[in-house]
């Protein structure tokens, strides 16, 4: 479970994120969407503990990501848009290296190899992998230790249609026993895989609702996104 309480961050005089409040429960895939510059990246960095909030806090299984970073980070698996692979290492060596850092045994590696379907590429270097397999290896690294919270930043960016479909199916499967926070600009992806939607605009939360409820109210998520942002901007003008 993850909970944000009055989460805010400013850079000098610029307010990037303002008083976000939300709670995500296990067993769900939650979309995190917003226009460019809305504060998504800043929020993700605060959730992972990479950036301190100006005020407020994030709790992951009741551990504060800034005050208790080591305990909180054990609960988080993060896949950035560009997977953090070591280019001089083979896939299996990347997995063993991260596994050793986390203090895990080889059984953890066997589990993610099977789950992410990596058996055929274990001996390959990063430059030999397709973009789809690079994303899968990055996801496998995030899954080592089986953290309850997975944060995925644009996981299908640059993939071909078949790779996109495969990644989406994997994300839906992971959502059965993890909390998955999916940052994406593709609303079609949200409709395909997400149960719940967080929408952010100009650093503030403008929607925190079930995807089906937003679609039922507005017809589709594109219209929901445009309407919620328009109302928010009118209220702030």
pLDDT along the chain (237 residues), means of 10: 93 91 92 91 92 94 90 92 92 95 88 93 94 93 94 90 91 92 92 95 95 94 92 85
pLDDT in tens, 60-108: 988 999 889 889 989 999 999 889 899 999 999 999 999 998 888 888 8
In whole angstroms, what is the distance from residue 141 CA to residue 163 CA?
18
Residue 37: predicted pLDDT: 86
- CA dihedral 96→98→104→109, nearest 10 degrees, is -50
pLDDT in tens, 153-168: 999 988 899 989 999 9
Where exactly are the structural domains of the chain? 2-75+149-236, 82-146
The contacts of residue 81 (CB under 8 Å, 6+ apart) are 153, 154, 157
CA dihedral (215, 220, 222, 224) positive or negative: negative
CATH topology of domain 2-75+149-236: Rossmann fold (3.40.50)
Query: Residue 146 burial by CB count (10 A; 0-12/13-18/19+): exposed, middle or buried?
Result: middle
Which of helix, strand or coil describes residue 159?
coil
Is the Cβ–Cβ distance between 149 and 179 less than 8 Å? yes
Residue 210: predicted pLDDT: 95
Residue 23: predicted pLDDT: 94
């Amino acid at each position: 479970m993850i909970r944000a309480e009055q989460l805010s961050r400013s850079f000098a005089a610029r307010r990037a994120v303002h008083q976000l409040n939300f709670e995500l429960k296990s067993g769900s895939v939650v979309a995190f969407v917003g226009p460019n510059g809305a504060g998504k990246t800043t929020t993700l960095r605060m959730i992972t503990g990479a950036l301190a909030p100006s005020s407020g806090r994030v709790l992951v299984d009741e551990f504060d990501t800034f005050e208790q970073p080591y305990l909180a980070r054990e609960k988080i698996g993060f896949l950035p848009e560009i997977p953090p692979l070591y280019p001089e290492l083979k896939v299996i060596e990347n997995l063993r290296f991260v596994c050793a850092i986390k203090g895990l045994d080889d059984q953890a590696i066997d589990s993610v190899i099977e789950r992410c379907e990596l058996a055929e590429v274990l001996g390959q270097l990063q430059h030999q992998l397709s973009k789809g397999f690079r994303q899968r290896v990055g996801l496998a690294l995030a899954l080592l230790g089986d953290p309850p919270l997975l944060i995925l930043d644009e996981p299908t960016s640059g993939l071909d249609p078949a790779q996109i479909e495969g990644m989406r199916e994997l994300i839906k499967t992971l959502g059965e026993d993890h909390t998955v926070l999916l940052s994406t600009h593709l609303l079609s992806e949200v409709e395909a895989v997400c149960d719940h939607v967080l929408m952010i605009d100009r650093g503030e939360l403008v929607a925190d609702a079930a995807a089906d409820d937003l679609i039922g109210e507005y017809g589709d998520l594109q219209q929901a996104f445009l309407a919620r942002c328009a109302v928010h901007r009118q209220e702030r003008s």
